[in-house]
Structure formats: structure tokens, C-alpha cells
Structure 1
């Protein structure tokens, strides 16, 4: 996932399937293989405290250079357990980043990072919640409300959903048009009061505050307005399309704020 380590909660956990035709810019990483590899590595680190201390400085610098996000699952991961479903992800910055808006709109657009930064900004501070149960409390995100971008594009009357694509070449997500217009859904370029790092999906990612974190697509590159919801990467592998915190994926606990 693009999102930070999504997994299902409940009596039966959906299993990821490898796609038949990997995308051009990345080969999806199977969750079972990925988690098994990381699990063995984490056990080794925990079994050797001296090695762990020696690795901390290395991991601190390595996490932003690791396109898969594997280092985020090891000690010194900063509270997030993140990774990519692609084997490699290109780096983009202010010189080459573009966000396209198309589909059922009257005014298709292409935004640079500077364009997004020049628009009215919104700052949200809420918990980040994963369906596996880990949570990072009071996490600040800043960016442009998705509703403002949709209004600027002129959404047509036949539209009912939004499809998001990412420059890792693999990950996708979706929202209904009503969900996308919520004031707590951002096209974010700042996270934890600094620019969104590559390992966190920078320079621009989606942030859907009231839903589990797999809905907050990393490395956002495309916003396409469609008639109907098309399930995203994890939904195609069994996860809930509507991922409200505390009320989906087999969970019925109270959502965190």
C-alpha cells in the first residue's frame, strides 16, 4: 500500500493476490512474503540489543532511501509501519511533480507542487489509524481540500465517484463524490509539520482523516472523476471500500478522534 501497512481485522483476514500483469513502473510485493521477511528481520534485531543500538543511526538515514518502506517496520520507524506495494518507486520533487485532474470535469487541470502550495491551505490534526490496530495520535497534515480542487475542475452532473492513481505505477484508491467533498479530506503536501517525505508518499499524498490509513493513497499523481466507485488496490484484495475507522473491516469499536 502504498498506505502504511494495511491489513484486515476480524475472524477471517483477506489474503492479497498478485496481479496477473504487473504495472510498468513497479512489481507488487505480496503481503505474505513481505511480512514474513520483515518478521524474521525484526526478530533478529530484537534478539541482539547491541546490534539494534548500532543499527538505529543507520535506519534513521536509510528510511527515506528505501522505496519499499521496509525500514519503517524496524525499530526507529517513527511510529509508522509503512511500505509500498511496488518493488520500487521513483522520486519526484518540485521540479517534476504533477497532479492531473480529469474525467467527468469541465476543466481538466495539471498542478505542480508550487501550484498546490499557492492555493488556500487547511491544517488538520487527527489520529492516524491502521486496521491492524496501530495508531499515531495527533498527526498534523496540511494541504488543499480535495473539494476545492473538484470545484475548480467543474464536476459534471453525471459524476458519482473519484478514482486516485499514484506514480508508483501500482496503487489505486477511490471515494464516493460525497466522501471526497468532506472538509477532512486533503491533498496533502505537509505531514508532521514538514514536507511529506518520499517514504510517507511525498511530495503529495491523499489524506482521508475519518478512514483507515490505506485510503490515504501515497505518491498521488491522478484524480479522475468517474460515474461509479471502482475498488482500489486493497479493496480488490478483500478490504472494505468504505473504510470508516471503527466501523469497517470486521471492527465495531469506537472510532478514534
Structure 2
């Protein structure tokens, strides 16, 4: 896999799709449908998000990832479908090199101190959504509560889609701008955007911000994530990795 992917030629992926070329008529038809949805914003914004998200879950080819989502986002998944989690069924587990294995419900996470960040979302494929608010619990606070062992060096994230994973060094994970996010754009995270809980690593390309987060495992070394195993840089600093030089100017 190359490090610079053109989303107009992809068919599937995490936050940055990669796959086989698709037919021109299919692409044009889907882009026309997407344009019609965009034209109805903001009145149909929520319905548009939900429709694209639902289409993505039923689309093993990943063609729905070619369409612009609400607010300029793209919808990608590396699996044909992702189960939905709710207040009753969602759990976030923290394990590995910790003194206290912990499991959080959504209500537990909401009752912890929340941090709100407003940053540009930057995908390595080139699209950007400026000034996007995310809100959630600092990852560092969850690690501190679990009691990280001295031999720990990194953190691995796995997702309830059953396929996606990511990693950060422990130093990166403890940054103030890395969240376990529950809200985006001042609304609860939708399923299409990786809800009910996702990682948000603000200073890195968006593929590091794993959607549908289910487990945080503290490890003694960095384990390359889904896209790193396919050619992306492990350290994904915006403008300083993946052969890109496109850091936001503001």
C-alpha cells in the first residue's frame, strides 16, 4: 500500500479507504446522490449522516466511502458491517500492563471529567474538516486510574468492528490532546462516526483516531495498527509523516 491514497479511487478502509477501482457509472451515480444530500443541508444533516452511515454498514465494497458525509467527512469501514452498541451493550475495557483491569459503561465515562477540544480533522488522503469540536475523557486519566505498570511502553486500541486496531506510545497516549471521545460537533458520537466511543488523537492524521473503540491494552512495545501494517507511518503527526507536508496553517 502506498502512503498517499486518492479517496476517489478507493473502495473501503478505516478512516482512509483503500481497495479496488470501481466503475465510472457507479461512481458518478453515487456522487450525484451525495450532492443531492449535501444540497439539503443543514435541514437534512442528521438524516444524511444516518443514511450514509447505514449504507456504509451494508456495503462490503466500501463504495459509500466515496461519498462526502455531513460536514465534509468521509465514511469508511474495513469490514462489511459493524454491530451497533448502545447504553446497555457498550463496554470499554482497559487491560494489559495495568494494576487494575477496568471496564467502563457509557454512563461511567460520561460521569468522568470531560475535556473539549476544537481542532482541524485531517485525513492523510487529503480531506480536512476545520474547527471540529470533540469532547471526552482524557486517555491519560483512564490510564492513571488503571495504574500503568513500570515496564509499560505503549497502548494498543482494538475496536468492536472485529478488525481495526491502532497503537500509540505511552508518551503520546498521555498527551492532553488525546481523548476517549463521546461527543463530536457538540452531539453524541453517531455510529457512522465511530460511536458511541472512539479515540481522538488531535495532532495526528485521522486514521489514528480509531472508531468503535472497545479495548485499551497497555503493552511493552508499539504494535502496528491496521493501516500501519499496510504501509502508513506509525507516527502519524499531521504535516510531518506519510510523505505529506500539509499541516493546517491556523
TM over 0.5: yes
Tell me, yes or no, if the aligned pair for 1:127 and 1:256 is still in contact at 8 Å: no
- Hey, what does 1:157 align to over in structure 2? 150
Tell me, yes or no, if the aligned pair for 1:247 and 1:255 is still in contact at 8 Å: no
Give ranges in structure 1 of 5+ residues lacking alignment: 1-5, 11-15, 17-29
Give ranges in structure 2 of 5+ residues lacking alignment: 11-16
| Residue 133 (structure 1) shift | 1.3
Matched, 1:53 2:36: yes
Equivalent-residue separation in structure 2 for 1:132 and 1:210 (angstroms) = 16
Matches within 5 A, 1:58-97: 59=48, 61-66=50-55, 67=57, 70-71=63-64, 73-74=66-67, 77-97=70-90
The TM-score, its normalising length taken from structure 1, stands at 0.81
Q: Which moved more, 1:64-73 or 1:247-256?
A: 64-73
- Hey, what does 2:28 align to over in structure 1? 43
Matched, 1:242 2:231: no
Report Cα offsets for 1:119-160 as digits up to 9, x if no partner. 000000000001111100000000000000000000000000
Tell me, yes or no, if the aligned pair for 1:201 and 1:218 is still in contact at 8 Å: yes
Matched, 1:32 2:27: no
SS at match of 2:149: coil
- Hey, what does 2:14 align to over in structure 1? none
Greater relative CO, 1 or 2 (CA 8 Å, sep 6+): 1
| Residue 92 (structure 1) shift | 0.3
- Hey, what does 1:133 align to over in structure 2? 126
| Residue 39 (structure 1) shift | 6.2
Report Cα offsets for 1:150-193 as digits up to 9, x if no partner. 00000000000000000000000000000000000000010011
Counterparts in 2 of 1:115 and 1:239: CA distance versus 1, 3 Å = same
SS at match of 2:132: strand
Equivalent-residue separation in structure 2 for 1:82 and 1:145 (angstroms) = 25
Equivalent-residue separation in structure 2 for 1:185 and 1:152 (angstroms) = 16
Matched, 1:168 2:161: yes
- Hey, what does 1:252 align to over in structure 2? 245
Counterparts in 2 of 1:217 and 1:7: CA distance versus 1, 3 Å = farther
Question: Which aligned segments of 4 or more residues in structure 1 are displaced greater than 4 angstroms?
Answer: 54-61
| Residue 224 (structure 1) shift | 0.1
| Residue 64 (structure 1) shift | 3.2
| Residue 7 (structure 1) shift | 7.4
1:114 to 104, 107, 115: 107
Equivalent-residue separation in structure 1 for 2:156 and 2:52 (angstroms) = 29
Report Cα offsets for 1:15-68 as digits up to 9, x if no partner. x9xxxxxxxxxxxxx8222xx33865332355x68x953896785541232325
- Superposition RMSD in Å: 2.8
Counterparts in 2 of 1:60 and 1:148: CA distance versus 1, 3 Å = closer
Matched, 1:207 2:196: no
Equivalent-residue separation in structure 2 for 1:182 and 1:231 (angstroms) = 19
